[in-house]
Amino acid sequence: MSELAKRVAVAAVGIPTVLATAWVGGWPLGLLLGFFSAWAAHECFRFAHLKQVEPISWIGVPAAPAFVLLAVWRSSFGAFAPWALGMIAVMTLATLLAAMLQRGPGRHPFAAAAITVMSPLYVGLPMAFAPLLHAMGGEAAVDRGVSSGLAGLLFVALPLAATWIGDAAAFFAGTAWGRNRAKLAPTISPNKSWVGFWAGLTGGGLAGVLWYLLVLRVFGAEGTAGGFGAATVMGVVLGLAAVLGDLVESLLKREAGVKDSGTFFPGHGGVMDRIDSLIFTIPSAFALLALMDIVL
């Protein structure tokens, strides 16, 4: 198969699977995202190994999905946060003890401990906000005659739409008009231009408006100028978060000297290559919806 055919095949299977799981929510969503989080943590540790650092895999890899599954079990932020803080404390102490006993002064113990703790916080904790978003949508559906599964899907769809539409806009605009223009971060990601950056923000804003229109239709509500403005701002902020997530992973890959984080998705690269932006947009969407108090 050609690379394009592989990409299309993966997308044809992956996108419906993600959306169907987001509709169901609960443990199926948590298990799917937990698996991806564990694999992404494994890929982060691969970056470290390429730089001769040995993270403590038996702590870091299981910790990443543990955050996601915890969010399914404790599906409100108030219930989730104390347990998550406790997990971070236990993981940190266990990692320091393991680094002392298993690495010693000659095997980069501080770097090993730092990467062991940081990797699940980088990939697992942000993905935990997807079940929290789903639960937030279910709460909004109460007494409104809307399926909690559909409402949960709509809330999870906000960061997905902003990421995917913004990324597509950035790619096509950057390809068409940004090749010979100023680069966004030439030492980190030489192919990204400022043209693509502004197109990505525009695409994110458009995604926010489209999401708001869909939610109004599902909930049978009427839109307001303030609601459309808030949705646009959310989309633009999520578009910015997506760019930052992409650049952070590009920085890590450039340090490790690799083009892709792995080969999990044929034609697409590794798991980190697929979720790098979502790591930033999913928790950002949760925070924005909570702060702006958009009641649908």
The whole-chain average pLDDT of the chain stands at 91
- Residue 295: what pLDDT? 44
CA atoms within 13 A on the CB side of 173: 18
- What span, in angstroms and rounded, lies between the C-alpha atoms of 78 and 137? 16
- φ and ψ of 243, to 5 deg: -65, -45
Secondary structure (DSSP) of 186-225: TTTEEEEEHHHHHHHHHHHHHHHHHHHHHHHHHHT----H
pLDDT in tens, 136-186: 998 888 878 888 899 999 999 999 999 999 998 998 888 888 777 788 888
- For every one of its 296 residues, what pLDDT tens digit does the chain have, with 9 covering 90 and above? 555 576 677 778 878 888 899 999 999 999 999 999 999 999 999 999 999 999 999 999 999 999 999 999 999 999 999 999 999 999 999 999 999 999 989 889 999 999 999 999 999 999 999 999 999 998 888 878 888 899 999 999 999 999 999 998 998 888 888 777 788 888 998 888 899 999 999 999 999 999 999 999 998 888 888 889 999 999 999 999 999 999 999 999 999 999 889 888 776 789 999 999 999 999 999 999 998 764 44
- Residue 296: what pLDDT? 43
- Residue 57: what pLDDT? 95
Contact 279, 127 (CB under 8 A): yes
Cβ atoms < 10 Å from Cβ of 50? 13
- φ and ψ of 190, to 5 deg: -60, -20
Structural tokens at position 103:
């690495």
The DSSP symbol for 146 reads -
* Domain spans in the chain, listed from the N-terminal domain onward: 3-292
Cβ atoms < 10 Å from Cβ of 71? 30
- Residue 283: what pLDDT? 97
Contact 47, 255 (CB under 8 A): yes
